[in-house]
Amino acid sequence: MIRLNLLPHREAARKKKREQFVAAVVLAALVGVGISLLAFSWYQSAIHKQRGINAMLDAEILTLDQQIKDIKGLESQIEALQARQRTVEDVQSDRNQSVHLLSELAQQLPPGVLLTKVAQTEQLVLVSGTAQSNEQVSELLRNLASGSTWFSKPELLESAAATMALPTKEQRALFNFSLRAVLMRAPDAASAPLNAASAAKPDV
C-alpha cells in the first residue's frame, strides 16, 4: 500500500531552520552582551583602582610639598641664625678695631709724617696728614701694604705741596696727603702673615 505525505514538509523544514537561526542569533547576542558586560565591569574596576592610586599619589604629593615648605622654612631660619651669628662675631671682633687701627698707624708711621685726620667707615679708613717729602708718603704706603697685618689695599688719594710758617718766620715746604686703606678684621689679620709667608716662599 502506497502512503503519500500531503503535509507541506518543505515549509516545515524552512520554519525549523529559521527557528534555529533565530536561536543562534539570540544566543550570539546574549554571549556578546555578556562579554561586553564583563569587559565593562573589568574596565570600571581598573579605572576605580587607578583613581584610588591617583588619589593616594596626590595625597603623597601634598605631604611632600608640605615637607618641602617646612624644609625651606627651616633653611631660612638657619640662614637667619647664621647671619645673626656672623653679625655678633663681627661686632665682637670689631670692638677692638679702633685700638688696632691707632696702634698700627703709630707703628707704621715714618719719621717726619704727621697725621691730621683719621676716619673710619665700616672697614674703610681715610687718613689725612702732612709729610716733609713725597718719599715719606711713599714709605707710609709701603709700610701699610707690606708691613702691616691690619691694613690692606692702601691707595694714595692726593698729595699736594704746601708751606708752613715757622716761629723764625721761615717757610718750610710740606706735602699734604690723603690716603685710604681697608682695615682687616681680626681673623683676616691673624691669617695675613701666613698668607704673606706662603706667597713669599720660593717654589722648589
Whole-structure pTM value: 0.46
Which residue in this structure is represented by grid cell 688719594? Answer: 157
Q: Are 93 and 143 in contact (CB under 8 A)?
A: no
Report CA-CA distances (Å) from 69 to 19, 60, 63, 65.
74, 14, 10, 6
Kindly report, residue by residue over 144-172, the tens digit of the pLDDT.
888 788 888 899 998 888 777 666 667 77
Kindly report, residue by residue over 12-50, the tens digit of the pLDDT.
778 888 888 888 889 999 998 999 999 998 999 899 999
Q: Return the SS3 of 8.
A: coil
Kindly report, residue by residue over 56-106, the tens digit of the pLDDT.
999 999 999 898 988 888 888 898 888 888 777 766 666 667 777 888 888
